[in-house]
Amino acid sequence: MRIFSGIQPTGRKHLGNYIGAIAQYISSQERGEGIFCIVDLHAITVAYEPIELRERLYDTTAILLAAGLDPARCILFRQSDVPEHTELTWLLCGVTELGRLQRMHQFRDKSIAQRELVSAGLLVYPVLMAADVLAYRAHEVPVGEDQREHVELMRDVARRFNARFGEGKEILVVPECRIPEVGARIMDLQEPARKMSTTSDSPQGTVYVLDEPRAIEKKFKSAVTDSGSEVRGGPEKEGIGNLIEILAAVRGSDRVAVEAEFADARYGEFKAAVASAVVEYLAPVRERYQALRAEESALEAILADGAERARAIASVTLADVRERMGVGAARA
């Protein structure tokens, strides 16, 4: 089984990224052939600073390694090092419906948020994402809930490609999305109706992977809850529901078990328990991060080796796609 996922090298990685995605990447190394890509080409579809982009790329690489991605057991690479992704994007544009791209939630949200230019890249973003996965004929895509629509689109693109050019064969694999049962959508601690995100203007509501323990404790202490007193999820209880979800995710248990354990607890006591579980959960990553981040040349060597191995796979798919589409000289 081949597993592929991508992560943007923007901003600081947060608890939502970790629980929804990174934790799944680590465990997928046990289940199959993991291919993980730091998607710098996706990051240039909104306003950004070139120098920052490189810095954040190393930060993200070091976080993934610190979290437990092992280059001996998976492929870890930078998207822009493998030109097959951009070539396949263009080829797949021919089997992607324009109206569908215009209706994607992320395009609508991000184009409203852009103060200056709404780039064509923002519209084509999901096709690049389809190319990322389809180039490897991956079977599974571990992501958080917010990426479900993108995975649906890539499935349709693969199906349409196969129907148009496959002559009855599955040239491109139609991937499945793998969304965790607990922690698929971690919400902002200050605004629990919004998902935790890098672009939010609520740093107090966002727990970063590299936050110091004291900062984490403070953020949970001031997390917005509600006027009730029961540790239980449900309507009007988004704040507490989110904390229950976080605790269940970091413990690897479920919401029902957390609610039962804290049935008699007060909010303050419960928040402290969530904070200490999260501190413990992230501590090993933070401890390993600094040493890894300091060695940029070692990070480059890992990415270069990953890109070489990725390219060996993607180039085979591209040769098939070009052949099927009648692009370039026929194969001998």
Least separation in angstroms between CB 77 and ligand TYM: 12
For residue 185, the tally of other CB atoms under 10 A from its CB is: 17
Backbone angles phi, psi at 77, to 5 degrees: -150, 170
Our finding on whether 141 is near ligand TYM (CB under 6 A) is yes
Residue 292 half-sphere exposure toward CB, CA atoms < 13 A: 22
Q: Is 3 buried (19+), middle (13-18) or exposed (0-12) by CB count in 10 A?
A: buried
**Candidate segments 126-134, 166-174, 261-269, 282-290, binder of ligand TYM by CB under 6 A:** 126-134
**Candidate segments 2-10, 91-99, 247-255, 304-312, binder of ligand TYM by CB under 6 A:** 2-10
Least separation in angstroms between CB 317 and ligand TYM: 15
Show the site string, 86-125: x = touches ligand TYM by CB under 6 A, - = not: ----------------------------------------
Our finding on whether 11 is near ligand TYM (CB under 6 A) is no
| Residue 67 Cα distances to 19, 64, 150, 291, 303, angstroms | 11, 5, 25, 13, 16
Q: How far apart are CA 182 and CA 20, in angstroms?
A: 8
Least separation in angstroms between CB 57 and ligand TYM: 12
Rg of the chain taking only CA atoms, in angstroms:
21
Site size toward ligand TYM (CB under 6 A) is 27
Least separation in angstroms between CB 206 and ligand TYM: 9
Q: How far apart are CA 163 and CA 30, in angstroms?
A: 33
Least separation in angstroms between CB 2 and ligand TYM: 12
Our finding on whether 7 is near ligand TYM (CB under 6 A) is yes
Q: How far apart are CA 72 and CA 33, in angstroms?
A: 11
Q: How far apart are CA 107 and CA 242, in angstroms?
A: 26
Q: Of 143, 210, 277, 314, which one interacts with ligand TYM (CB under 6 A)?
A: 143
Q: Of 28, 61, 96, 147, which one interacts with ligand TYM (CB under 6 A)?
A: 147
Our finding on whether 318 is near ligand TYM (CB under 6 A) is no
Residues 166-195 that bind ligand TYM (CB under 6 A): 184-186, 195
Our finding on whether 60 is near ligand TYM (CB under 6 A) is no
Q: Of 3, 104, 129, 307, which one interacts with ligand TYM (CB under 6 A)?
A: 129
Q: Which of 233, 208, 226, 231 is nearest to 218 (CA)?
A: 208
Least separation in angstroms between CB 4 and ligand TYM: 6
Q: Say if residues 42 and 79 touch (Cβ distance below 8 Å).
A: yes
Our finding on whether 206 is near ligand TYM (CB under 6 A) is no
Angle between helices 267-294 and 296-325 (to 10 degrees): 90
Least separation in angstroms between CB 105 and ligand TYM: 12
Q: Say if residues 79 and 121 touch (Cβ distance below 8 Å).
A: no
Residues forming the site for ligand TYM (CB under 6 A): 4-8, 16-17, 19-21, 39, 42, 129, 132-133, 141, 143-144, 146-147, 150, 184-186, 195-197
